[in-house]
């Protein structure tokens, strides 16, 4: 289907329509050989609360954004190379059903579909595109992924010290390494993680000690091997930037203490043919 649609007029028109919806704030999406396979609205689990997002599946990238006027105007465009994507199905919660996680080296997040059938179709087509790309490029699947952020309302106390209670004046913060919701005292450190950002990012105290230990081990390995081969990862935004509301004055809702947020124990609008 991809080869059949590549470089056709109908495919060009579909991609141009998506570009027009994002307007000047979006990046150009038309490339030789790129095919728009389908689109749909999914619910994305954001920091504050679940929010609807428009998703577009191409044969080499996944694009999503915020909905201003459906079918007419979108903003906050995000582009994820499919070669960097790993998928993980998740169990239902009381709040969300038909969930799965989209994991990448720079950003990981949870989405949910309107039905189980819709989730199966999304995952099936995503996995097919990813498999085709990896075979074409000879790359191995991504093994290192950014931690998804635990939602703010999942806890009303710091997940590290378990003592500090969040309030209007006591803000919630997220560790960029583990994704835990932590207080300021438990996340005063910053650490440079080039895979996520060119700037040092907030991390909790435990992750900071672990990262320092890993850095020390790497330095010792560098001394044993003076000229290691290094590669810089370039791409899209770090997980700290998207859908994070700045105000923290919403009343926290108590989640069950035994809730497993991201474990693997347990409508797509159009596929073009």
pLDDT at 247: 42
Same domain? For 128 and 76 the reply is yes
The confidence band for 196, taking pLDDT boundaries of 50, 70 and 90, is confident
Window from 96-110, 142-156, 221-235 with minimum mean pLDDT: 221-235
Structural domain includes residue 260: no
Same domain? For 120 and 167 the reply is no
Number of compact structural domains in the chain:
2
Q: 45: domain range? A: 36-137
Q: What is the largest CA-CA distance in the chain?
A: 61
* DSSP 8-state symbol, 146: P
* CA angle centred on 11, ends 83 and 113, rounded to 5°: 55
Highest mean pLDDT of the ranges 68-72, 141-145, 223-227? 68-72
pTM of the prediction? 0.75
Round to whole Å and give the CA distance between 270 and 38: 5
Q: Is the pLDDT of residue 267 over 80?
A: no
Counting every residue written for the chain, the total comes to 273
pLDDT at 5: 78
* DSSP 8-state symbol, 170: S
The CATH number for 95's domain is 2.30.29.30
The CATH number for 197's domain is 3.30.40.10
Q: Which of 110, 137, 164 is the last residue of a domain?
A: 137
* Interacting residues of 61 by C-beta distance below 8 A, sequence separation 6+: 29, 34, 79, 80, 81, 82
Using one digit for the tens of pLDDT, what is the confidence trace for 181-192? 999 999 999 999
Q: Which of 106, 137, 168 is the last residue of a domain?
A: 137
The confidence band for 266, taking pLDDT boundaries of 50, 70 and 90, is very low
Same domain? For 123 and 195 the reply is no
pLDDT at 93: 87
The confidence band for 235, taking pLDDT boundaries of 50, 70 and 90, is very low
Same domain? For 107 and 183 the reply is no
Round to whole Å and give the CA distance between 234 and 195: 8
Structural domain includes residue 73: yes
């Amino acid at each position: 289907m991809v080869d059949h649609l590549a470089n056709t007029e109908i495919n060009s028109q579909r991609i141009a329509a998506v570009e027009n919806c994002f307007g000047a704030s979006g990046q150009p999406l038309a490339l030789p050989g790129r095919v728009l396979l389908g689109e749909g609205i999914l619910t994305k689990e954001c920091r504050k609360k679940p929010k609807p997002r428009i998703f577009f599946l191409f044969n080499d990238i996944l694009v999503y954004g915020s909905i201003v006027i459906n079918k007419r105007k979108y903003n906050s465009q995000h582009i994820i190379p499919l070669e960097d994507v790993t998928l993980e199905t998740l169990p239902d919660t009381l709040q969300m059903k038909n969930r799965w996680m989209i994991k990448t080296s720079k950003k990981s997040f949870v989405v949910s579909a309107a039905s189980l059938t819709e989730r199966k179709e999304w995952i099936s087509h995503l996995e097919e595109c990813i498999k085709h790309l990896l075979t074409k490029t000879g790359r191995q699947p991504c093994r290192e992924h950014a931690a998804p952020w635990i939602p703010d309302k999942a806890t009303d106390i710091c997940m590290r010290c378990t003592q500090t209670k969040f309030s209007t004046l006591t803000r919630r913060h997220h560790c960029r390494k583990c994704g835990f919701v932590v207080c300021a005292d438990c996340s005063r450190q910053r650490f440079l993680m080039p895979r996520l950002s060119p700037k040092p990012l907030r991390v909790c105290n435990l992750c900071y000690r672990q990262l320092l230990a890993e850095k020390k081990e790497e330095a010792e390995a560098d001394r044993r091997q003076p000229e290691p081969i290094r590669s810089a990862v370039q791409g899209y935004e770090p997980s700290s930037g998207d859908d994070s509301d700045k105000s923290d004055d919403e009343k926290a809702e108590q989640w069950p203490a035994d809730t497993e947020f991201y474990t693997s124990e347990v409508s797509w609008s159009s596929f073009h043919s």
